[in-house]
Chains A and B, each alone.
Chain A
């Protein structure tokens, strides 16, 4: 069997290493001890809400911000005192930062001034870079006449033509409309595989991070809360806060009965006694009132009565139906879930609308199928 992309990246040499990186703006502690290794050829994302320090960390790597303490290594070289123009990184700015006084070709060729190649060779390199981002023949255009998507491509070509070791992308897709964004996501992945350069992406859009990244660092308040691959991050969030931030999750208050050899046994309203596997146990938020169990809306499903199923089934009543075209969201109140002190909210279940399956109505009875492996305990 050929090694997977993930295995190959595991074996690759480290490209960016951050060790105990702290950054203060006056009294404000923007980065609080970042430890991080990004491997060569990796598509890495820094994900978090605004103000979490992800952009500061990116700008630190680019050399636009000095760090207060700690070490940043790029390709095994200490970057302390190395100015942005001497670092082997290039950046795609959030605003794209296309030079308005230059044409598309002049923008793309901006960094080639000291390149020893001849004028004709440089022009060919510019044309090649433009072709790579799908802007062949746009060289003579004035840059202010470009659309948002085109500006983005120019910014990409301008950075990639210099063949940096690391390409830094600061929320590059946030200014594009949804369709364009989804298209660019796929193009960026393809481009990254093609050029093999390490990409570091900053985004607040969890979907974007999940779609594009090999690994994702979720950041809150200047710290990395979890660093994992997309699947692990989604299925087994390390804390309730990460789970809250990434996608939709149902949270139910629970009572812990006790530890078992393989995990923890809990009493879950509407589900009864459940044994949560040890791998699915995460940290609760500090302000949570006791332990909670979380699960994704698509990790449970509504099955018709009498259908054979390997999973466990519990019953409830449909409280609300939200139809999305490809999906339907059902809010289901599970039988026996209200006997748990505080009133428990209905659980949200996502069902794909496949051919032949009718959309259920409010008030209908539902059999909810689930398995303990898809539940996560936050304690």
Chain B
């Protein structure tokens, strides 16, 4: 049996070898390059291949980095909160209220926005939220406002609105799957043991949906921190996030070691925060992923 298992394992590995090798190449190689660069010296237009920690010292001591990193974390946290908060009711409706035959259609409808390029969707939001956009001109022509609303464009609010819309399906799907996995007799058991609908939701449905909520949070939080397009277009470039700062260092200032050090630092911070988040969930909500 043991030899059978081994040959099966070999078979499995050889099956995943090509994609694994490909992933290694296109993921690990750039990551390692960035990591290597972050320890090199910048010689203005050239790179001096000498080991140094100067870049990191500069990054950690830079008040602009602190401000932008904190803003990125804040925006990502806000986006995550809004997205997951709005996604949960949608996923709940989809799982509990939609008849099984219709679920496929609903999922299809939810994923439709994905078929459009993200760039196009961001521009659409610009059109909707803009100074002379749909909302402002609409409200103005209705006589509700005199001057265009300024709090919906070129600021954090508009970034959050745009990102929350863009990441909605990423949040809806994992929560939906977690809800689908809940044995419905558990909810009946909750009622049977004397709890109301609301308390059954609180004591049974929500804890069992938490793995999906945690997954959704991470799926939204991690990429939004590194989002580059939205702050540029929707934020009007006035509220840069960490990706914009990295871009500036890398391309505008041509300081690749500094840009790499920024990138590695940001990755570390996100990784550590994510691990803390998962650990807290495991510890206090007993969420098993």
Contact = CB atoms under 8 A, between A and B. Distances in A.
Interface of A: 62-64, 83-86, 89-91, 93-95, 97, 99-101, 110-111, 113-114, 158-159, 162
A361 to B, nearest CB: 45
B194 interface: yes
Given A99-B204, A101-B208, A101-B286, A158 B193 contact: yes
Most buried by A among B186, B190, B192, B204: B192
B14 interface: no
A237 B191 CA distance: 38
28 contacts: A62-B192, A64-B192, A83-B191, A84-B191, A84-B192, A86-B194, A89-B192, A90-B192, A91-B192, A93-B189, A94-B185, A95-B183, A97-B185, A97-B188, A97-B189, A99-B186, A99-B204, A100-B186, A110-B190, A110-B193, A110-B203, A111-B193, A113-B195, A158-B193, A159-B192, A159-B193, A162-B193, A162-B194
A97 B182 CA distance: 10
A83 B286 CA distance: 31
A85 B192 contact: yes
Given A95-B183, A97-B183, A99-B204, A85 B194 contact: yes
Nearest to A62: B192
B138 interface: no
Nearest to A83: B191
Q: Which 4 pairs show the lowest CB-CB distances between chains A and B?
A: A111-B193, A97-B189, A97-B185, A84-B191
Given A95-B183, A99-B204, A100-B208, A85 B191 contact: yes
Interface in B176-220: 183, 185-186, 188-196, 199, 203-204, 207-208
A29 to B, nearest CB: 22
A94 to B, nearest CB: 8
Interface residues of B, number: 18
Most buried by A among B189, B191, B195, B203: B189
A97 B186 contact: yes
Contact of B195 (A85, A90, A101, A158): A85
A292 to B, nearest CB: 42
Contacts of B192: 62, 64, 84-85, 89-91, 159
Given A85-B196, A95-B183, A101-B286, 7 more contacts: A91-B188, A93-B189, A100-B186, A111-B194, A111-B195, A113-B194, A159-B192
A64 B207 CA distance: 23
Contacts of A89: 192
B220 to A, nearest CB: 23
A369 to B, nearest CB: 51
Contacts of A158: 193
B286 A99 contact: no
Nearest to B199: A113
Nearest to A103: B286
A100 B189 CA distance: 12
A86 B193 CA distance: 9
Nearest to B193: A111
